[in-house]
Amino acid sequence: MSLFLIGALGLALDGAQMYAHQQMARAAADAAAQAGIMSIYRGTNATAPSPFGTGTTPAAFTCTTSDGRTPCVYARNNGFGGTASDTVIVSFPTAIAGVSNLSSGGVAAIAVSVQRTVKTGLMGFLGSSTSTVRAIATAGLIASAPSCITVLSPVGDAALSVSNNANLTLTNCALTINSAAPQALSVSNNSTVQATSIQVVGGDSIGNGASVTPAPTLSAPPAADPFANVLAPAYSPIGCRANPNVAIGQVVNLSPGVYCGGISISNNATVSFNSGTYILLGGGLNVANNVTLTGQNLTFYNTFDATHPFGPVTLANNVTATFSATTSGALQGMLFFEDRNVPAGFTDTFSNNSSQSFTGVLYFPRSALSLSNNGSLGTRNMAIVANTVQISNNASLTIDLDLSVAGAPQKLGIALVK
């Protein structure tokens, strides 16, 4: 009976001790894994005094009792790793069972295993003098769909409007609408909207045979302007070029530079744009009537000054344009870049059987984007940021984001996944 009582008492006391150590182990592993993945997310894992995980597939390591590497420090701060009876192992799995959306670039996950050998008390009388506690935690960079279209206006119904047999299709990316109005998203008259996700700060109006997939998430938090920190290109208006006014079947090459009065092209012209930055100083880009445009590695910066009034981008009446954005430098990815100080109320227009294949960002933070009358706009990799967006009258806007391309945008979050 005495032996039984000692065993029962030992089980209770040692069990409580083991439970406390197990909870400490769990807290230490969680803290170490989360601190490690946060350091990877911020890039400080490569710049800290004791860097870790800087290779494409870094090797696992075991922490010493005074290790300065971030996961080791956080395990130690939470009670594990400071003595020889503890073992803390940091590894970098490339896949996690049940998780399909790890980041596709660099180090995407970190696992921390902690272990401690604990001496038992009264249980020793029953032949068990030590016991082992273990815990493992895994944290990852989780990729969610980036936003291919961001509508910045914080007010107004139909901030994004799709109507009259128009179609908006976004593959591998999201739609974000910042307007808090009751009908911020308006889809009507047999039109369709499809995206990976749809986030609306306000409400929606969907009717008259329209369809929206998936169902919008309403009352979502507003999104920040994703390009707010991109600096506008510097330029001087001194010696700027006059508007070339290309017309009547001309075939020409245009070179980058500052164009006072913008660029106008019309009437069966064919124009190739040489690589570089085009400063549209007043006048904008005005293209109409059976024109063909081509160019690679381009940025159009649409601006104005006191003597050159602002003009929007207009491509109308059977215009075919194939453009790709600048591929390096401060303007990388920016195809159309609107001056953030332009007066409100302008509309950038793509309409009347015009077909545009653009790779890059269409950035119109102060203006509306209008696609209408059998116009088509889109390509494999494109993004739109505009004050408002209207798609109507059999127009089609299609973006198919290729996430496998190196440097493709990913919206990353941090999660403790196991």
How would you write the pLDDT of the chain (418 residues) with one tens digit per residue? 444 444 444 444 455 666 777 888 899 999 999 999 888 888 888 877 778 877 777 889 999 999 999 999 999 999 998 888 899 999 998 888 877 666 666 788 899 999 988 776 554 545 556 678 899 999 888 766 789 999 999 999 999 999 999 999 999 899 999 999 999 999 999 999 999 999 999 999 999 999 999 999 999 999 999 999 999 999 999 999 999 999 899 999 999 999 999 999 999 999 999 999 999 999 999 999 999 999 999 999 999 999 999 999 999 999 999 999 999 999 999 999 999 999 999 999 999 999 999 999 999 999 999 999 999 998 778 999 999 999 999 999 999 987 555 444 555 556 676 6
As a whole number of angstroms, the distance between CA 264 and CA 276 comes to 18
Nearest to residue 264, comparing CAs of 247, 241, 245, 240? Answer: 245
pLDDT score, position 149: 96
What is the three-class DSSP state of 3? Answer: helix
Measured between alpha carbons, how far is residue 211 from residues 170, 201, 208, 216, 384 in Å? 14, 19, 9, 11, 22
| Amino acid, res. 283 | G
- H or E element, residue 2: helix 2-42
A 10 A CB-CB count for 280 gives 29
- What does the pLDDT read at residue 406? 44
Contact, 299 vs 320, CB < 8 A?
no
> What's residue 142's pLDDT?
72
d(CA 219, CA 204): 10
Q: Using an 8 Å Cβ cutoff, are 290 and 267 in contact?
A: yes
| Concatenated DSSP letters of 21-84 | HHHHHHHHHHHHHHHHHHHHHHTGGGTSSS--S-SSSPPPEE--TT--SHHHHHHHHTT-SSST
Residue 9's pLDDT is 45
Return d(Cα 160, Cα 179) in angstroms, integer. Answer: 9
Provide the 10 A C-beta neighbour count for residue 99: 16
Strands (E), 164-229: 167-171, 174-177, 185-188, 192-194, 198-200, 204-207, 211-213
* Residue closest to 365 by CA, chosen among 382, 349, 384, 350: 384
| 202-222: b (≥16 Cβ within 10 Å) or e | bbbbbeeebebeeebebebee
Tell me the whole-structure pTM to 2 decimals.
Answer: 0.71
Q: Please report, for the chain, the start and end positions of each structural domain, with discontinuous segments joined by +.
A: 2-144, 147-409
- Quickly count: other Cβ atoms within 10 Å of residue 405's Cβ: 10
Supply the pLDDT for residue 120.
Answer: 64
> Would you give the end-to-end CA distance of the chain in angstroms?
44
